[in-house]
Amino acid sequence: MTDAPARNGDEATTAGGREVFVTDADAVVFGFPATRVRVRIRRRPRSWRLSGAVRRMAIFVVLAPLVAVVPPHAPWLIGALAAGAILARRRWRERFTLETVQGRCPKCGAELGVKAGRLRVPHPVPCEACHHEVSVRVPDAVLNGGQGPRGCPEGPIEVPREPLDAPDPSGT
C-alpha cells in the first residue's frame, strides 16, 4: 500500500489501483442524538464496474438459451435476461463499497457491524442488539472529492435567523 493524498484530513491509501479511505460519518436513528462512526470506503474505478457489469450480463446471455428450453419458453428467457440486466446495473452503479463501520448505535450503544457491500446514501445498518435500522450518512464532500451534491462547493451556509423570542419589528 502506498499513501495517496488524504482528503479533508481523512486517511486515504491506494491498494492495487483502488483508493481506500477512512473517514467520519454520522449514525442516525430517528428520535436519538446522532453518533460519530468511522467508515472504511473503497472507491471503485470505472474499469472495475464496467468489467463486472459486462461479465454478469454475458453469463446470463449464455444462460438464457439454456433455460429457454424448459417450457414455457418465453418467461425463462425473459427472466434470465432481466436478471442479467439487473445484476449488471447493480455492479455498474457501485461507485463505492462500504467495507467497515466502527462505532456505536445511537439508541442502545452497542457496537455496529456491517457486511461489505455497495454504499447507499444513506446506508442502512441493522443494530444486532436493539434491532433498529441505523442510517450511516457519509458527507457528500467525501464521496464527491470536495464537492457537494451536483458539484456545488461544500461548506457551511450562513442563514441569518432571528431568535424566536425576539420582539416583533413592526411593533404590533
pLDDT at 2 over 50: no
Confidence category of residue 163, pLDDT binned at 50, 70, 90: low
Mean pLDDT throughout 101-106? 94
For residue range 45-65, list pLDDT tens digits in order: 999 999 999 999 999 999 999
Long-range pairs, 123-129, Cβ under 8 A, ≥24: 123/98, 125/27, 125/101, 129/105
Query: 152 vs 140, which has greater pLDDT?
Result: 140
Residues 6+ apart with CB under 8 A from 112: 27, 37, 101, 102, 103, 104, 105, 125, 127, 134, 136
Question: pLDDT at position 8, please?
Answer: 46
Total residues belonging to the chain: 172
Exposed (0-12), middle (13-18) or buried (19+): which is 131, by Cβ within 10 Å? exposed
For residue range 138-149, list pLDDT tens digits in order: 988 888 765 545
Mean pLDDT throughout 2-7? 42
Q: In the beta sheet, which residues pair with residue 40? A: 22, 100
- Cell numbers found for residue 12: 486515504
